[in-house]
Amino acid sequence: MTRAAILAAVLLASVGATAGHAAPGTSMCTASQLSAGSFRAVPGSAGAGNIVYALELRNTSSTTCTITGLPQGKLLDRAGKAQPTHIVPAFRGALTAVLVHLAPGKSTRATARFSPDVSPCQATSYAFRVTLPGGTTTVTLKPATPVCEHGQLQFSAYGLPT
């Protein structure tokens, strides 16, 4: 990794750690604090056999909580049955993720790049069950889509609150 990439990762981590203005001791976000936001196709992102979907989670509790890293979870078929899901980082070799402090009513977002039409493909996915401390929350894929290459999702880390 180049010096510039290392410096950028360290800078990104320090910005993320101070951007939320949360009180010290904020706990990790749990499934009961985050609503099933959305997992929608990003307009204009389809091309070259790939598409990008944006996963958004909102803090619906009355307290600030913290989330970091890559989303974890499982793709689901129409009946809610788990499908093969393989989550990998979109930016391989990144040193750190942003520590996101989510105040009540604020959202965080992560994007997933995947192939909807490069073999081998599984059946159409209709939802994504996000795994969080204390449980799960489920978001609907809009539109529903196959996720090929054994359910591989190249996820970015959760980003700063909106």
**Domain CATH for 7:** 2.60.40.10
Mean pLDDT confidence for 70-83:
95
Per the structure, the complete domain to which residue 129 belongs is given by 3-155
Distance CA 120, CA 64 (A): 42
Distance CA 109, CA 97 (A): 13
What are the tokens at 89? 């980082």
Question: CA of 12: how far to CAs of 7, 16, 60, 95, in Å?
Answer: 9, 6, 26, 10
Give the length of the chain.
162
User: Residue 9 pLDDT more than 60?
Assistant: no
Distance CA 129, CA 43 (A): 23
Distance CA 162, CA 153 (A): 23
**SS3 at position 154:** strand
Mean pLDDT confidence for 79-92:
92
pLDDT given at position 38: 87
Distance CA 26, CA 56 (A): 20
Q: Which amino acid is at 134?
A: G
Q: CA angle, corner 83, sides to 81 and 89, nearest 5? A: 135
Mean pLDDT confidence for 72-98:
87
Per the domain annotation, does 128 fall within a domain? yes
Per the domain annotation, does 19 fall within a domain? yes
Q: Do residues 76 and 83 touch, judged by C-beta distance below 8 A?
A: yes
Per the domain annotation, does 162 fall within a domain? no
Element (H, E) at 77: none
Domain count, the chain: 1
Per the domain annotation, does 118 fall within a domain? yes
Q: What is the pTM of this model?
A: 0.80
Provide, rounded to the nearest whole percent, the portion of the chain with pLDDT above 90.
Answer: 62
